[in-house]
Chains A and B, each alone.
Chain A
Amino acid sequence: MTHGYAKDPVGAHYGTGNWLVQRITALVMAAYIAIAVPYALWRAPASHAQWKALFAGGFFRLATMLFLASLIWHAWIGMRDILIDYVHHYAMRLATQAAVAIVLAFYVAWSFSILWGR
């Protein structure tokens, strides 16, 4: 299959970068769902102490943080695509994108505080 263009389309290829990040973060999350979630189900925490013990392990805690970071980055690209598609008013688009970015940045801090805050 050939995808020939007479000349290189202009631009800094930010779109290509987002496309790739969307897929890499998806694979990180898929690995977590395939490995960490079955591990948690196998441990089957039935009490608060067991639930806390699950997250006390360095590997599980780190994997969960990596999952959440991937999820948040993935959500940014996805929400940005949705807003670009449907919000055409320029100030409105800027405002909604800024709101999403701020909320997601807050989620990063929140995730750290949940996993390491105690």
Chain B
Amino acid sequence: MIADKEIKNMSAATKPRPKYYEFNLAHMWPPAVLSIFHRVSGALLFFPLLPLALWILQSSLGSEEGWARWRDVFASPLAKILALGATWCLAHHFFAGIRYLVLDMHFFTGKAAARATALAVFALGAIATLVVAGLLW
């Protein structure tokens, strides 16, 4: 009977299907890496960077001592390096987001163009981080 055969086949198909995940960023094409970094940088901007930024804004505006404390903190090389990490998160999220807005308008949607714009976003993120590094040092 055809029905029985189909049921048999279906039960055979319930075996766990093999999954192949590619986790190596170096093996992905640039737009995929851009997308993953967009998500990771966004999550980092939510935590810890947003509450940290609000705290810095509050205490630096709140009192002379608060302003002086953060000025001293940002004089240290470690704080500057962390600030550069934060800058890269913001810059990458910003430029990758602009790229998504451009894609929404159906520009640069071809494979070669998508790769080129992704590489441009990585370059702009690096340039923005270097500019801030120049301002900090």
Residues of A near any B CB (own CB < 8 A): 1, 23, 26-27, 30, 33, 47-48, 51-52, 55, 68, 71, 75, 78-79, 82, 100, 107, 110-111, 113-114, 118
Shortest distance between the CB of A62 and any CB in chain B (Å)? 15
Contacts A26-B101, A48-B68, A107-B54; A114 near B61 (Cβ below 8 A): yes
CA distance A107 to B54 in the complex (A): 8
CA distance A114 to B63 in the complex (A): 12
Query: Which A residues are in CB contact (< 8 Å) with B85?
Result: none
Shortest distance between the CB of B132 and any CB in chain A (Å)? 11
> Which of A51, A68, A71, A79 is close to B60, meaning CB atoms less than 8 Å apart?
A51
Does chain A have a CB within 8 A of B45?
A: yes
CA distance A47 to B60 in the complex (A): 10
Most buried by B among A23, A48, A111, A113: A48
Within 8 A of A (CB), among B34-86: 39, 42-43, 45-46, 50-51, 54, 57-58, 60-64, 66-68
Top 4 closest pairs, chain A to chain B, by CB = A48-B67, A114-B58, A48-B64, A75-B46
Interface residue range, chain B: 20 to 34
Most buried by A among B39, B46, B68: B46
Within 8 A of A (CB), among B3-55: 39, 42-43, 45-46, 50-51, 54
Query: Which B residues are in CB contact (< 8 Å) with A110?
Result: 54, 58
Shortest distance between the CB of B38 and any CB in chain A (Å)? 10
Docked-complex contact A107 and B64, CB < 8 angstroms: no
